[in-house]
Structure 1
Amino acid sequence: MHDPATSVDTTRFVELKGGAYPVRIEYQWLNRDRADAPIALFLHEGLGSIALWKGWPQMLCDRLNCRGLVYSRPGYGRSTPRRSEDKWPVEFLHVQAHDVLPALLDALKINAAERARMWLIGHSDGGTIALLYASAFPDSLAGLAIMAPHVFVEPMTVEGIEKARNTYETTSFREKLQTYHDDVDSAFYGWNDAWLNPAFLHWDITKEITSIRRPLLAIQGYDDEYASMLQLDSIKAAVDHTQLVKLEQCRHSPHRDAADAVNDAISAFMQAHRA
């Protein structure tokens, strides 16, 4: 295992053009010196960032013998904040999967051969973005491992996000979250307003993901406060080759609540599919 002090790259920035306005993306390489190793690309949750992943991506990359790439999406971390007048559309996850992620790969000069060996590892909204990317670009990845993804909206999802808003506005949660974002309101309300948009109740990508061809591992905890196992079962129904892992005593963040089980599952899954 590499010394973390030498494995973790400094945080870097790259500008993406072509959208409504240019955005600066913060990103970080892990195990950058392993130039011939496949890339494990990490897609954070709806309130996440590079910093909020903490040490887990490095731990997993060391175990997988991969290079790692982590980044904060626009509106999060130290990336360009969402403008206060901008409301993210119902399709905001599609925008991230179809436009922002490919633009980032282009900007970082990750070529077609490297993308074909690339593994996507996503949590929550990041898991959904991984699914949407894999369905739109079915040959531009090696496979994906996702945790607590959403493919449609359940009543408990809306209830959980409404509760999060109340917690954000009435407790010290905003102050704690501010540690991980330059503009914490940009991060929180971008995510929260989008999910609580009444039009989002009809959002459903179960038919869209049927085009996924690459290996797919989906992980969720039985105690997830934002979704039921209907999410994983619907993914399996849409993509028959999906491998499911359902964890006891685990809430919405399996990599924190059940790190050993998650690391074991992802490691075994990728080893089985890496030729």
Structure 2
Amino acid sequence: MSVQWTDSLVDLGHNMQISIRMGRHNSQVEGKPTLVLLHEALGTIRMWKDVPEELAEKTGCDVLVYERQGYGLSTPIELPRDDDYLIEEGEVWLPRLLNRLGLNQVILLGHSDGGSIALIGAATIPDQVCGIITEAAHIYIDHLTTAGIIEAVERYKTTNLKERLARYLGDRTDTMFRAWHETWLRERKHPMDFRPWLPAIQCPALIIQGEDDQYGVKEQVTDICSGIGANAEPLFLPDCGHVPHFEARDKLVSAVADFIKLRVID
């Protein structure tokens, strides 16, 4: 199958422009929803590498990848970032982007922060979201989350982590790294808790986590599935950490393709 990829900026109003990459199959894809990829806390379009191309091929779906505010070519952010930024992304900016692009039926695939946003988005616009897949999503901050971020801050100061991130984040590297660790580590007026959104998710859900994820306990998966109910199924990937689409890529892609074929499209 041949897929045509285009890059553009989408104006969402309120001085917000979002950078997107869209892959459309040259042959008409009858009745298939668009697969939307939501990146991690330090992600960009380029950090997905060629995963979107493989998912487009294996699923037969058109694929949308986009960069949230602050990332890549999208509108910059100002610090400090609000505690509820993930809620705003899922309830406001994701629906607005989908509507601006005319995408009426989508499958959300989110990694880490993107997974949390996907859960909120699926609860917010259930008529548009016909399937959801999360990798390493969080619905609360656990002890592994905190320890992992503290360790990453130390590596940012003492190793070449900053230089490696700068390949993708460019001159926004310091800003986005601060936006990540400061928002997650500071004291909050209200604890992060996305469990109230879960019962509103009506679509099939595949909730994935690496068995060796250094940023989240296994209860993140089981609690998400419990909150959603019978439509949700857990998947733990052995010998895999926080980034299944790289660390267990073949298993991840196969699981996503099978889930879409058997649970979403059929």
Q: Give me the TM-score of the superposition, normalised by structure 1.
A: 0.90
CA distance in 1, matches of 2:68, 2:212: 27
CA distance in 1, matches of 2:63, 2:23: 4
Residue equivalent to 1:195: 184
Residue equivalent to 1:27: 20
CA distance in 2, matches of 1:251, 1:130: 20
CA distance in 2, matches of 1:118, 1:200: 34
Q: Which amino acid aligns with 2:124?
A: A
5+ unaligned residues in a row in structure 2: which ranges?
A: none
Residue equivalent to 1:269: 259
CA distance in 1, matches of 2:58, 2:213: 26
CA distance in 2, matches of 1:133, 1:174: 31
| 235 and 178 in structure 1: CA distance in 2 versus 1, 3 angstrom threshold | same
Contact 1:119 1:143 in 2 (8 A): yes
Residue equivalent to 2:250: 260
Match of 2:241 among 228, 244, 251: 251
Shift of 1:198: 1.4
Q: Which amino acid aligns with 2:87?
A: H
Trace 1:101-120 onto structure 2 (pairs within 5 A): 101-108=94-101, 110=102, 114-115=103-104, 117-120=105-108
Match of 1:135 among 123, 133, 139: 123
5+ unaligned residues in a row in structure 1: which ranges?
A: none
1:237 and 2:232 correspond: no
| 34 and 81 in structure 1: CA distance in 2 versus 1, 3 angstrom threshold | farther
Q: Deviations over 1:36-91 (max 9, x none)?
A: 442100000111110000000110111100100001111111212222xx211111
Residue equivalent to 2:48: 53
3-state DSSP of counterpart to 2:195: coil
Residue equivalent to 2:58: 63
CA distance in 1, matches of 2:142, 2:256: 27
CA distance in 2, matches of 1:32, 1:165: 41
Shift of 1:8: 4.8
1:99 and 2:95 correspond: no
Q: Which amino acid aligns with 1:15?
A: D
Contact 2:4 2:26 in 1 (8 A): no
Q: Give me the TM-score of the superposition, normalised by structure 2.
A: 0.93
| 226 and 137 in structure 1: CA distance in 2 versus 1, 3 angstrom threshold | same
Match of 2:77 among 49, 68, 82: 82
Shift of 1:107: 2.6
Higher strand share: 2
CA distance in 2, matches of 1:185, 1:71: 21
Q: Which amino acid aligns with 1:107?
A: R
Shift of 1:208: 2.1
